[in-house]
Structure 1
Amino acid sequence: MCGIAGLFNCNLPADELRLDQAVAKLTHRGPDDRGIFLDGRFGMGHTRLSIIDLAGGHQPLFSEDRRLALIANGEIYNFIELRSELTAAGFRFQTQSDSEVILHAYLAFGEGFLERIQGMFAFALYDALEGRLILARDRLGIKPLFLARRPDGIAFASEIKALLPLLDQPREIDPQGLAQYFQNQFSTGATTVLRGVERVLPGEAVVVEAGKTTRRFRYWSPLAVRTEELDFDEAAARFDALMERVMVEHMRSDVPFGLFLSGGVDSSLLLALLTRYSGEPIRTFSVGFPGTSLTDELPLAEGLARRFRSRHREIRPGPQDILHSLPLTVWAADDLMRDNASLPTSLLARAAGEELKVVFSGEGGDEVFAGYGRYRTSPLERLFKSLLAPGSGGFRTRGSFRGRWPKTLFGPALLAAAQSARRPVQESWRETPREWSDLQRMQYVDLCHALPDNLLVKADRMLMAWGVEGRVPFLDHRVVEFGLSLPDRLKIEGRQGKLFLKRWGERLVPAEQLYARKRGFHVPLGEWLDEPFLERLNRILPEHPALTPWFKPAGIRALIARCRDERQGSAMLWAIIQFAIWHRLFISGNGERPEALTDPLEILQR
């Protein structure tokens, strides 16, 4: 796992000093090594976390004739098979790195090389002979990649903070991205909160020539999936073979690995599979919140750890540890989002990083196999919601700020932008094949938006902040295609979701573990809005310079009063606090890393 950055100018030579500053912003993603390459108007840089070929995987990688230069972030899981095929075709490899297959696959297969690569990745491939740069991101968006327009060309990087030294224009907020963040928890699609900075989409490639984007294309999309009428036994037989192959490939590593164990379906199954295929105890990590109203899941995880004889470690953060982790998680997320599970995930990653470089986790299981309760809403309820908010079949119809609060809180610019905050969901819903079921459409919407722009931001950025690579086998694109293609009756039955995966897993994990009520990964932040904190917040937040262009000071005071008097509205308040922290770090600041534990209100007063 690594960090990448670069720039391609239209006229001027690439600035090595600024490129070096950009690469320095990504040291947390790759603390083991650093490399920079310049070629006239083009420059690229790389930071490395050594996982495969510890001694010989320095990047940039070059073809033998140095026509091609490559920097890559992620893992190519089928590199052994692809390397054998390319070697048989006459290509000679200079390293044992999994990333080197990208170079030779490009020469062997042309633009079709992207379809031959399986893994999680974001890379920049420079062809000096053609004067062409290809930027590409993996099919599900597991690895991040951002693109910025500059007056004299383009810049790209794994994280927005690395783009800051490369931008030549003042940093401004994109109202549409900001409205999406407040209403949906995250900005989505190509849109980010920073004007002029966009995401390369999952499964997308961008071609840049002479500093200008000349073409963008999707090399993979879930829209090609069609339903297969299978019974459970047929589907289980296929999934047996698929998961064996996926796990063998995902477990390829020259360093030890561990697992984040929550006690839920996905991480429980991963523990069983990792134990089966490794043949030795797995290092596992769990987090709980003693002293809060939340159900403590540590006993569930501990029971599984005993069953599979894992080497288990529990993390029990106190309220202040969680609260003071907020500035670092906002910095780490980089791409403004507000999944509060980022807080315990960061604490888990910090603990894991003391021992390991690679950790598995269960992201994707709910999207791929239909585990969320929102997928089981009754047709009548969805019909009613679709009448109130048309365009998505009654799915994801309500924003986080609703009722009187948008008009109470939002200033004119934010209120106007919020009117179209649902547009990405509506567009994704409409582009699905006519023969798909509504369940498949709901899965697809989440695969396009909530997964890459929220959950995978957490999974990648919280771990990489501590130099840890996250691997997510349920998001191998072959598993995604399999789950999306299953008939609805194998995924949902009554109030039971993720039915196929649970039935399939009964041979591996006790049934009571699989069919227990889904708890989710919640953080009790609302319980920690005590009177002293709210009093300080009331002095700092309403007139804060990050907020006054977008919010009404009186509305913020009203929200704080509601949290104090009615114990309601904490999610909205935390959303505003996180934006103010992000603004301090990325707009008025230069993306500097806060201390691991920092009072969030002290950050806002600087």
Structure 2
Amino acid sequence: MCGIAGFILRAGIEPAPGTLERMIERLGHRGPDDSGLYREGAVGLAQSRLSIIGLETGHQPLLAPADGLALVANGEVYNYRELNAALGAAGRVARTGSDSETILHAYAVHGLDALERLRGMYAFALHDRRRERLILARDRLGIKPLFYARLPDRVVFASELKALLALLPESPRVSAPALRQFLHHQFAAGEDTLIEGVRRVPPGEALVIDPELNLTHHRYWSARRVAPRDIGPEYASYELGERLDAAMREHMRADVPFGLFLSGGVDSAVLAALLHRHGAGRIHSFSVGYRGTRMADELDAAERVAAHFGFEHHRLELELDQVFGRIPHSIWAADELMRDYACLPTSILAEQASAELKVVFSGEGGDEVFGGYGRYRPPRLERWGKGLLRPGSGGFRTRGQWAGRWQRALYGAALATVEPPDRAPFVAAWQATPGDWSDLQRRQYTDLVTALPDNLLVKTDRMLMGFGVEGRVPFLDHRLVEFGLALPDTLKTRDGNGKWLLKRWAEPLLPPGHLSAPKRGFHVPVGDWLGGERAARVGELLARNDGIRTWFRPEALPALVAARRAGHGGGRELFGLLQFAIWHRLFIERPGLTPAPHEDPLDWIASD
């Protein structure tokens, strides 16, 4: 797990001295153990390393001089042992213990077809000097991030936005469509980011860049290739067990100890059972709840699961100010704006885990893969009505997060007239699905290519890497994703409940009654914190923020605050504006600022 960055220049262009050093310095939190640089002609590569596999021999960039190849990689290739054995038969012998070296040898033998052989979570840049090209590639599900910007004289790339900001030819500018998407859906989906001109490498793709800076997209995987299966519960349960075991065996490969984030829900409990089944032993597990709030948590349920499997459990009970003091740092760590309140406790869990570990397992993906969300099984009338009012996505992902009255009152002119429509990524994903898929499969797929990589996995990667911790998400092994997506609907939802097959398989392994508890989710008591005098103070400070004055109508803020204080809504809108104001300071006004892990968020709202 690491941070990577670099560039490819147009012929005759020289980078400013120290360019690579400045880029990788911004990514030091992702890789505090080591760093390395490479420069060959027009190409520069850099990496900051978090040592997980091949501790002594995995220094990067990794080079294959005889083949003219150089590589920097972030993440893990879990099946490196199997690939190395096959590549050895072709005369390719690994010189290090690093799983990333396998990428070099696989590419040398198979070219871009090597991508289809890799299993894992990764983003990498590979310089092929002989073919005069730079390859930027990202794993199938988008577990690991990779950003790039095509400038007139170069293409620059990095694991995080903050490493690119200093290289842009002008001061960073906000992308209006991406900002609208964040406000409406709590994240911006697709290739465009909140910074104008900076894009994401899409999951399941490689970008091939030639000396003239032409970009060619090479898609090597898509969930749309999955065909529905007619399979019964008995064989499906057997196959699920085989796939879970195979994924866990590979995900447990590490040369350092690992732990588990244990929420008390289904997915993390299943991971606990699998870790125990595969001999993980007395690992550290972590769960979080809150003091001084009316919101229920799952601390007791998590503790029961940990005790059942003999884990060394850490139960964190947080004060509200401790949670919300994490806002500035979590915004800095995330790079991308998203209104997922769970970033805050996740960040605290990551900091706690970093004192003991470099790797933690987490249950992201279970709901998307096995049909767990309630939004996947709406009443037929609701689905029909939403589809009629907002067509294009079968009644799925139709409602924005902001109330219409606050959009009309607060949006400035530039924001109010943005095209394309805010729902465009969801409609495009829905329309791209095969004709023989069910409504449920289309809902799963739409989330798999929008909310999963651009929201949920941003939280998992960036909150953990903000403290040098690698998150492993076995449910997103692509073999499990393909299996879950292909299942008949009746093996995903029954009697109004989701994840039927996963629960059926896991029930004998878990404490009695654990799976019968209602799903609570990973909630955060925002309403208990953002009210009263604090809401009024937030409103006053927002009016003094340059980003708010540019994109919104500050004169409407008093009405929003009054509604919030009176309990008449406005909480999501006020919190979203707070996030944007802090993000604007960190990424637009003052790139390079780094908040401490605990700060008063009110100190970070108003512009200097």
Q: Same fold (TM over 0.5)?
A: yes
> Would the aligned equivalents of 1:14 and 1:40 in 2 still touch at CA under 8 Å?
no
CA contact (8 A) 1:180 1:418 kept: no
The residue aligned with 2:390 is 389
Contact in 1 for aligned 2:177/2:420 (Cα 8 Å): no
Q: Compute the displacement of 1:495 (Å).
A: 1.1
The amino acid that maps onto 1:517 is P
Give the CA deviation at 1:64: 4.0
CA deviation vs aligned residue, 1:144-181 (integer Å, no higher than 9, x gap): 00011222111000000011122222211111111111
SS of 1:506's equivalent in the other structure is: helix
The normalised TM-score by structure 1 is 0.98
Show the counterpart of 1:3: 3
Q: What residue is the counterpart of 1:180 in the other structure?
A: 181
Aligned ranges 1:484-503 → 2 under 5 Å: 484-503=485-504
| Equivalent-residue separation in structure 1 for 2:92 and 2:518 (angstroms) | 53
How many Å apart are 1:535 and its aligned residue? 2.7
> For residues 293 and 535 of structure 1, do their structure 2 counterparts lie closer, same or farther at Cα, with a shift above 3 Å needed?
same
Task: Return 5+ residue gaps in structure 1 as ranges.
Answer: none
What are the equivalent positions in structure 2 for 1:22-41 lying under 5 Å apart? Answer: 22-41=23-42
Counterpart of 1:137?
138
Q: Distance in 2 between matches of 1:311 and 1:126?
A: 44
SS of residue paired to 1:443: helix
Pair 1:449 & 2:437 matched = no
**Stretch moving more, 1-10 or 12-21:** 12-21
Range with greater deviation from structure 2 (74-83 or 394-403) = 394-403
1:223 aligns with 2:213: no
Aligned residues of 1:349 and 1:463 also touching (Cα < 8 A): yes
Query: Offset at 1:90?
Result: 0.5
Distance 1:4 1:208 in 2: 17
- Residue 338 of structure 2 aligns with which residue? 337
Q: Which residue of structure 2 aligns with residue 550 of structure 1?
A: 551
Measured at CA, do residues 408 and 418 of structure 1 come closer, stay the same or move farther in structure 2, by a change above 3 Å? farther
- One-letter code of the match for 1:134? I
Q: Which amino acid aligns with 2:50?
A: L
Could you tell me how far apart the structure 1 residues matched to 2:593 and 2:88 are? 44
CA distance in 1, matches of 2:434, 2:416: 33
Shift of 1:326: 0.2
Q: Which amino acid aligns with 1:603?
A: W
RMSD value, Cα: 1.2
What is the one-letter code of the residue matched to 1:79? Y
Which string of whole-angstrom CA distances, capped at 9 and with x for unpartnered residues, describes residues 85-115 of structure 1?
1111101222110000100101111110100
Q: State which drifts further: 118-127 or 556-565.
A: 556-565
Cα offset, 1:511, TM superposition = 5.1
Matched AA of 1:323: F
Contact 2:46 2:61 in 1 (8 A): yes
Change (3 A) 1:557 1:3: same
Shift in Å, 1:567: 5.2
Where 2:18 maps in the other structure, the secondary structure is helix
Alpha carbons of structure 1 residues 348 and 422: separation in structure 2 relative to 1, 3 Å: same
Post-superposition shift, 1:211? 5.2
Letter in 1 for 2:360: V
Q: Distance in 1 between matches of 2:592 and 2:377?
A: 41
Change (3 A) 1:421 1:279: closer
Residue 558 of structure 1 and its aligned partner are, at CA, apart by 1.4
Matched, 1:60 2:61: yes
Aligned pair 1:375/2:376, yes or no?
yes
In 1, Cα distance between equivalents of 2:533 and 2:257:
45
SS state at 1:417 partner: coil
Cα displacement (A) at 1:304: 0.9
How many aligned positions are there? 606
CA shift digits 1:252-271 (9 cap, x unpaired):
00000000000100000100
Separation in 2, partners of 1:557, 1:530: 13
Of 550-559 and 247-256, more deviation after overlay is shown by 550-559
Contact 1:18 1:165 in 2 (8 A): no
The secondary structure found in structure 2 opposite 1:176 is helix
Indicate the residue corresponding to 1:113 in structure 2.
114
2: CA distance, partners of 1:217 / 1:421: 27
For 1:590, the equivalent position in structure 2 comes to 591
User: How much has 1:589 moved relative to structure 2?
Assistant: 1.1
Alignment-derived partner of residue 294 in structure 1: 295
1:413, CA displacement in angstroms? 1.5
Q: The residue matched to 1:547 in structure 2 has which SS?
A: helix
Partners of 1:89 and 1:545 in 2: how far apart? 59
Please give the alpha-carbon distance, in whole angstroms, between the structure 2 residues aligned to 1:97 and 1:542: 51
TM-superposition CA deviations, 1:227-249 (whole Å, max 9, x none): 11111101011111111111000
CA deviation after TM superposition for structure 1 residue 210, in Å: 1.3
CA contact (8 A) 1:490 1:499 kept: yes
Cα distance in 2 between the residues matched to 1:426 and 1:597: 39
| Mapping 1:428-439, distance limit 5 Å | 428-439=429-440
Deviation of 1:418 after TM superposition, in Å, equals 6.8
Report Cα offsets for 1:266-302 as digits up to 9, x if no partner: 0001001101102511210000012211112111111
Percent identity over paired residues: 51
Partner secondary structure for residue 318 of structure 2? coil
Q: Is the 8 A contact 1:262 1:301 kept in 2?
A: yes
Q: Structure 2: how far apart are the matches of 1:122 and 1:45?
A: 13
Corresponding position of 2:322 = 321
* C-alpha contact 2:262 2:302 (8 A) present in aligned 1: yes
- Aligned with 1:229: secondary structure? coil
Q: Which residue of 2 aligns with 1:124?
A: 125
1:530 Cα offset (Å): 3.6
Moved over 4 A (4+): none
Q: Residue 14 of structure 1 contacts residue 38 of structure 1 at CA under 8 Å; is this kept in 2?
A: no
Aligned to 2:16: 15
Question: For 2:605, what is the secondary structure of its paired residue?
Answer: helix
Shift of 1:543: 4.2
Query: 2:382 aligns to what SS in structure 1?
Result: helix
Is there any run of 5+ residues in structure 2 with no aligned partner, and where? none
CA distance in 1, matches of 2:392, 2:403: 18
Greater shift, 363-372 or 125-134, is seen at 125-134
* Cα-to-partner distance string for 1:290-335 (whole Å, 9 max, x where unaligned): 2211112111111111111100001112111111100000001012
SS at match of 1:286: strand
Amino acid at match of 2:553: K
The Cα of 1:531 is off from its aligned counterpart by 2.7
Q: How does 1:202-217 map to 2 (within 5 A)?
A: 202-210=203-211, 212-217=213-218
Question: Does the Cα contact within 8 Å between 1:77 and 1:249 map onto a contact in 2?
Answer: yes
Question: How far is 1:66 from its partner?
Answer: 6.0
More displaced 10-residue stretch of structure 1: 411-420 or 25-34: 411-420
Is the contact between residue 538 and residue 578 of structure 2 (CA under 8 Å) also seen in structure 1? no
**Counterparts in 2 of 1:16 and 1:214: CA distance versus 1, 3 Å:** same
Quick one: distance in 2 between partners of 1:465 and 1:52? 20
Q: What TM-score, normalized to structure 2?
A: 0.98
Cross-structure match for 1:97:
98
Specify the alignment match of 2:233 in structure 1: 232
Distance 1:463 1:369 in 2: 25
DSSP-derived class of the 2:164 partner: helix
SS at match of 2:216: strand
